[in-house]
């Protein structure tokens, strides 16, 4: 939801400013391998953002399992070449997904977000400043 701000006193001047749209690289690609982006109009809490978060979690979990399987395979003597090739293909796919997730998360770290409201008093933070 975008809010508009009028410049006439008393006509919405106290409304919060509209957030700038943010783009998010999604953790999947299109039919022909093209990148998919989501344009968010809030802080990334929409339905598609939550789905993308879940997909990232699943992809990283699968990559972790595959990593463990690859080490087990390397520790096993006399493994057929076809099995090595199959695991190598899966590792390449998992690496691609992991790199896409890393790029997406890195880009989101660089995008400005709305900072949380500042505490009104020092006592409300629970921290005390040391006296010099």
CB atoms within 10 A of CB 55: 15
pLDDT band at residue 54, thresholds of 50, 70 and 90? very high
Predicted local confidence at residue 114, as pLDDT: 56
What is the pLDDT of the chain when averaged over all its residues? 79
CA dist., res. 25 & res. 22, Å (int): 10
| Exposed e or buried b per residue across 113-123, where buried means at least 16 C-beta atoms within 10 angstroms of its C-beta | eeeeeeeeeee
Indicate whether 62 pLDDT > 70: yes
CA dist., res. 64 & res. 61, Å (int): 5
Q: What is the DSSP string of 7-26?
A: SSTTSSTTSPPPPPPEEEEE
Q: β-pairing, 22-29 with 35-40?
A: antiparallel
The dihedral through the CA atoms of 48, 51, 57, 62 has a sign that is: negative
Higher-confidence residue: 59 or 12? 59
């Amino acid at each position: 939801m975008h809010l508009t701000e009028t410049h006439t006193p008393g006509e919405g001047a106290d409304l919060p400013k509209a957030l700038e749209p943010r783009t998010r690289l999604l953790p999947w690609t299109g039919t022909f391998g093209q990148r998919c982006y989501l344009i968010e109009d809030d802080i990334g809490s929409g339905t598609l953002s939550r789905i993308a978060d879940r997909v990232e979690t699943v992809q990283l979990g699968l990559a972790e399992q595959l990593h463990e399987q690859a080490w087990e395979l390397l520790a096993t003597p006399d493994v057929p070449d076809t099995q090595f090739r199959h695991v190598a293909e899966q590792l390449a796919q998992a690496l691609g997904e992991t790199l896409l997730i890393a790029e997406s998360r890195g880009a989101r770290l660089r995008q400005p977000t709305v900072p949380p409201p500042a505490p009104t008093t020092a006592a409300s933070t629970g921290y005390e400043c040391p006296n010099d």
